[in-house]
Structure 1
Amino acid sequence: MTQNATKLPPVDPQNAAIVERFGGKITALDPIGAQVSGIDLSSKDALPPELVDVLEREMAHRGFLVFKNDAPLDAEDFLRASCLWGGRELHSTHGVHPETPGGNPHIFRLSNDARHGIPDVGPQWHNDGSFLPATFSHSGYHIIRPAERGGGTHFSHQGLAFEALSQDRQERWTRLSSVNSASGVVHPLVHEHSVSGQKCIWLHLGMTGAVLEKLPDRDGFRLLQAEELKQLCHDYNDVLNAGLTNGYAVAYEYQENDCVFIDNLAVAHRAAPEAHIPAEKQGLRIMHRSTVKGVRDLAPSFGLPMHVNIDGPNPVGEGVWQGGGVGFRWDEGIPMRN
């Protein structure tokens, strides 16, 4: 399934020196991500643009940053820090749980106890905001209460996952585009990250209604048939899972006061299975999530439109064309709520 995975290089020494000049420290995590300490996200003073720039570039290359905080952040501090990245403003489309601080519409409160937050979210690999043309540029995760017996988030580097594919699969996946089952927005299965320059794979395993393939030898497109789409989703799931043993994915366990920001075009994520175990067995888990406005459309290639009517008639020919809900169920035995 995979070749020998490429490893991420160390944190850029010049970037590390800039972080240190502003009183912080950035350290590479193994195998992806980086940890930042000494930067006070609760400060009302704006972080210097030079510092923000190097942190955002490291996030693009390494996938995510973990900010270690000595004291709890309040909700406004977390949301203000979320706006340091990408589109620099919040873009929120989720429901608001009754226990959300101040009923703030920009906080998605998640928990393994429905009394304290929304349960069962994000069990399959995905990127946030796949129903939008300009998908969220970044997402934030602020752990309010880590479960006593674990329950973190899995992150998989989509650039390194592309490199792990065989050349034949790289070529074919570059000709594929997914259709979001909720909105009909079309995204490429492979895109080039605007900051890192890496080719990255990108597919929502809980909200895909169709996949279009550009014909390799002539003009035109075809839809993947059910067995083909099922196989594609399994292959995509397998290559991201393989990162957990091949060095391009991590099962991150939150510690008290952790604040994690991800580049939503560089890493896929999913809730660890333990995150959904009931609180009486796993311990209560509460997390706040934020989402940041996209910078540009994640537009398909080959002249495909940004949007199709997934709820209307199939315009291409025979194949899977399924709107609504979680879209195409590629595995009947797994939870698919996202």
Structure 2
Amino acid sequence: MSTIPTIDPKNSAIIQKFGGDITALSPLGARVKGIDLSCQEPPPGELIQALEVEMANRGFLVFQNEKQITEGDFLRVSCWWGGRELHSTHGVHPATPGGNRHIFRLSNDPVHGIPGVGPQWHNDGSFITDTFSHSGYHIIRPAENGGGTEFAHQGAAYDALSDQLQSFWSRLSSVNSSSGVVHPLVHEHTISRRKSIWLHLGMTGAVIEKLANEENFRLLEADELKKLCHQYNDILSHGLDNGYTIAFEYQENDCVFIDNLAVAHRASTAAHMPAEKQGLRIMHRSTVRGVKDFAPGFGLPLVLDINGPNPLGNGVWQSGGVGFRWDDGIPMQN
């Protein structure tokens, strides 16, 4: 049974007060109408707070726009959330309008954008300490034959774990394979206050376990890390049948904003199929600065030298690229 909360009537009333309307998508997310994203004036703080809380509770919001919005509109609205400013670390594709460094342009045609991004479950910005608070997607052109994104509610996924896995995963911290940044596998969301899981399946170089009833740590061995990644993949993927994961298809000019600490996401298989088969797909992505460091517990540092020697002697300690390859038969491009 899904544990995703319904929309709070108080937040719905605030959104209606300012001319908007919010309706729940099933089983997660919500659709927002009537909020003009092209307006140059910032909206009232009361409205932003209501929207941000619903995003934290339900994972993501889809703004359906009655008028075409510009790249500037999209980037300005991205700054309504979280750290309230853009934090852009990506490359800039030659087709990006104006060469804007804050737009990550994605496509299933390399002429029009960067292809093949995000095929496995992940959260954006796992390579920085203050990982992105939110990400935004502006749908420039949806593929005619489908190619959306799957979103999984990480609080509901935690609830679906056995008591044994909840206890074990709560003692784990991942080490990013590119930067050595350390993040908790289980955290309490700062807005919803829900325990939630969090792991990047395409950029993890090690996982540290705090030993139960001891002060010591150890690294997971290869077979243990492979099992963990498969379990994590399965618990999010099974949400499609258990009410906490959605395969969402976009419409042109949709603006989707996700709470990056509340939902994991991955591109659908169709999203990476050639334009000749699916139709051309173009999406602009933004990323928003985090509010604070997404720090591990147990006295672990924010960053470890993943390019240096194994600090614990045994276990997986792998730097670079996509990190530990937990399944040889899958694409792992970030």
Q: Is the shorter-chain TM-score for this pair beyond 0.5, marking a shared fold?
A: yes
Within 5 Å, which residues of 2 pair with 1:303-322? 303-322=299-318
* Maintained 8 Å contact 2:205/2:324: yes
SS of the residue 1:260 aligns to: strand
- Rounded to whole Å, the distance in 2 between the matches of 1:17 and 1:215 is 47
* Maintained 8 Å contact 2:5/2:57: no
The alignment status of 1:206 with 2:196, answered yes or no, reads no
Question: Structure 2: which 5+ runs fail to align?
Answer: none
User: Aligned residue for 1:148?
Assistant: 144
Equivalent of 2:188 in 174, 192, 195:
192
Deviations 1:189-229 (A, max 9, x none): 00000000000000000000000001113210011000000
Within 5 Å, which residues of 2 pair with 1:103-114? 103-114=99-110
Give the superposition deviation at 1:70: 1.4
* Maintained 8 Å contact 1:111/1:284: yes
- Rounded to whole Å, the distance in 1 between the matches of 2:214 and 2:82 is 38
The alignment status of 1:99 with 2:74, answered yes or no, reads no
User: Aligned residue for 1:179?
Assistant: 175
- Rounded to whole Å, the distance in 2 between the matches of 1:181 and 1:251 is 28
User: Aligned residue for 1:50?
Assistant: 46
Deviations 1:44-88 (A, max 9, x none): 121111000000000000000000001221100000000000000
Aligned residues: 334
Question: Structure 1: which 5+ runs fail to align?
Answer: none
* Maintained 8 Å contact 2:189/2:195: yes
Give the superposition deviation at 1:317: 2.0
Structure 1: 4+ residue segments shifted above 3 A: none
Equivalent of 2:245 in 243, 249, 252:
249
- Rounded to whole Å, the distance in 2 between the matches of 1:262 and 1:235 is 24
Equivalent of 1:122 in 118, 122, 137:
118
The alignment status of 1:222 with 2:218, answered yes or no, reads yes
Equivalent of 2:158 in 152, 157, 162:
162
Equivalent of 1:282 in 273, 278, 283:
278
TM-score by length of 2: 0.99
- Rounded to whole Å, the distance in 1 between the matches of 2:314 and 2:94 is 45
- Rounded to whole Å, the distance in 1 between the matches of 2:290 and 2:314 is 33
Give the superposition deviation at 1:131: 0.3
User: Aligned residue for 2:127?
Assistant: 131
Give the superposition deviation at 1:9: 2.6
* Maintained 8 Å contact 1:96/1:104: yes
User: Aligned residue for 2:291?
Assistant: 295
Alignment identity in percent? 71
